[in-house]
Structure 1
Amino acid sequence: MLIKKRISIFYFIRTIKWDVLAIAAYAMLAGTFDHYGILSQVSIPLAVTAFSGTVLSLLLAFRTSQSYERWWEARVVWGAIVNDSRTLVRQVKQFMPKTEQGLAVAKDFAARQGVWCFALSESLRKVEHSNKVSTYFSNIGANSANKANLILDQHADALAAASEQFNINANKQVQIDATLARLCDSMGKCERIKNTVFPRAYSVLIHFLIYVLMTMLPFGLEDQSKLVEVSLTIIVPVLFIAIEQTAILMQDPFENRPTDTPMTALSMSIENTLMEMVGEPPVYKIEPPASYYIM
């Protein structure tokens, strides 16, 4: 996630460099046709070009709005995961007997929930699982294509075992189970966002309109300065491309990019808090970010 620091302009330029090169080449081609050959006599009213730009602006506004909605939903879901993780451990700690065995159950829940956060974030980003997650599953001798879901199953099994061992009140057991259900809902929401592809038709239409705008723009400008004409034909579409690229970066919040939801940072913070709640020292020393983003 981008933070309040100076953003690397080079990162953004790298994401649109090929579009800029294509726009520059096409703009010079359109400018050439405007000054030489049979098309040099063609003049398109600037109002027509302005209308195309207005339509393009409306599409970009809608695209940016929908992309931000996806990004913000992902952040809200992970905010719920933070809260429900704390609630889970607090409930287990309070509802178990105030004995060594009861505290051990709470510590097991806290450790598993910390692993769950990392397992979910890594599966969403489709990266190799960290040593923490790999070691955990190696120790329990189990594996699954959906590791986060397996950990929730282990939560449920541990809750059932503790209820029998300590004769936990059924109402207390239901409250903990409701928290597990909310965590499962949050996991499903993340998977829905990850697996739902933003309609490609929007990008195709926007790019088509950008090239239509580039085609018409030189024929509506005054021909007194070729350099100014070509420069404007490049600058205006590049601005539209930059806006669209901003929307593209936001529309997929789980792609292991600087604009992602900061799942790793959140997972570290969650685990530190959970360990503190059960009387254990924090696992991570969280330093202030040195870059313009946090993961």
Structure 2
Amino acid sequence: MISYNTKDWFTFIFKFHKADTFRTLAPIMAAIGLYSGIVGYMEVEFWKLSDTSYIKNITIMHSMLGFVISLLLVFRTNTAYERWWEGRKLWGALVNNSRNLAIKLSAILKSDDDKKFFREMIANYASVLHIHLKDSDVSKELFDNLDLEIDHHKHRPNQIAQMMFERINILYEQQKITGDQLIILNSELQSFTDICGACERIKNTPIPYSYSAFIKKFIFFYVMTLPFGYAFSIGYYVVPVVVFIFYVLASLELIAEEIEDPFGDDENDLPTRKISENIKKHVEELI
């Protein structure tokens, strides 16, 4: 995740980070600029359309649809950010639950061997979950048109959770922990699986295809029709104007695409590897 100073306006405005949408959209922006220039030339210089041409009134459509497209993009970005923020809350809960489990086990357990086991397993769960969420197959588990050979017995976070619960159950059978302590520890272990399942829900349930495809088509046709009306009023200045409008609209969609899957490898995704390392450090301090 990018580290930055929120008050440093100069850096935001004049520095182009590798995650900036301008780099991604530059080729398309050049093509749209060329297209706008051709449309402006054909209308003004070649066809020499008069100011009374009905094509000039196409800007009325843009005024009417501008409000609609703004609402769609606001909803799109808000939905994507909610997914990103929910992922952050889930990993924050994993941090807290790992600490709570470590604190309780450090007070309950007497054997150094048992403490060593849970010291490693609690830290391993966060590390394995980080790797598990990076797996591209996890994001495709619910796709109807794909037949993935996924062996659910190799679900690595589940294996770690199972090993910890089995060890807790053995300790109970050996009367090293009481029934009340077993209930307390069981709720902590259950929360690990709940967090994993919630993260998988975000990972393998993307924004509905029809909605995402419609926004992209809407932006494309909206921008492609802009030069026809505005070439009459601003001439060849239609080129930078249309390019800038496309940059704003397409950038919002690109940003939403990036943050709607917070467990990927993009610059603005959650630092799950760093969080798992912090969990490991904290657990080792407690047990």
TM-score between the two structures when normalised by the length of structure 2: 0.82
Match of 1:24 in 2: 33
**CA distance in structure 1 between the aligned counterparts of 2:195 and 2:48, rounded to whole angstroms:** 58
Residue in 2 aligned with 1:83? 96
Kindly tell me the number of residue pairs found equivalent between the two proteins: 259
Matching of residue 193 in structure 1 with residue 202 in structure 2: yes
Identify the residue that residue 108 of structure 2 maps to in structure 1.
95
The superposition leaves residues 131-174 of structure 1 with CA deviations (integer Å, 9 ceiling, x where unpaired) of xxxxxxxxxxxx95211110000000110112222441101111
Contact 1:44 1:216 in 2 (8 A): no
CA distance in 2, matches of 1:179, 1:161: 17
Residue 257 of structure 1 is matched in structure 2 by 266
Cα offset, 1:2, TM superposition: 2.8
- The corresponding residue for 2:146 is none
Distance 1:28 1:233 in 2: 10
1:96–1:166 CA contact under 8 A, matched in 2: no
Q: What is the root-mean-square deviation of aligned Cα atoms in Å?
A: 2.3
| Secondary structure class of the residue paired with 1:9 | coil
| Structure 1 residue 70 corresponds to structure 2 residue 83 | yes
Is the 8 Å Cα contact of residues 2 and 267 (structure 2) preserved in structure 1? yes
Residues of 1 paired with 2:76 and 2:282: CA distance?
A: 37
Instruction: Please list every run of 5 or more consecutive structure 1 residues that lacks an aligned counterpart in the other structure.
Output: 128-142, 279-295
Aligned to 2:256: 247
SS in 1 for 2:78: helix
Q: Match for residue 56 of structure 2?
A: 43
- The more displaced of 50-59 and 103-112 is 103-112
Point out where structure 2 has 5 or more consecutive residues left out of the alignment.
6-10, 137-151
| CA distance 1:93–1:270, shift in 2 (3 Å) | same
**CA shift in 2, pair 1:18/1:105, >3 Å:** farther
Deviations 1:37-81 (A, max 9, x none): 669442125332122221111100000000001001100000000
Q: Which stretch has the larger CA shift, 166-175 or 76-85?
A: 166-175
Aligned residues of 1:15 and 1:245 also touching (Cα < 8 A)? no
The 5 A counterparts of 1:1-295 are 1-5=1-5, 8-12=16-20, 13-35=22-44, 40=49, 41=53, 42-97=55-110, 101=111, 103-126=112-135, 145-221=154-230, 223=232, 225-278=234-287
**Percentage identity across aligned positions?**
27
TM-score by length of 1: 0.80
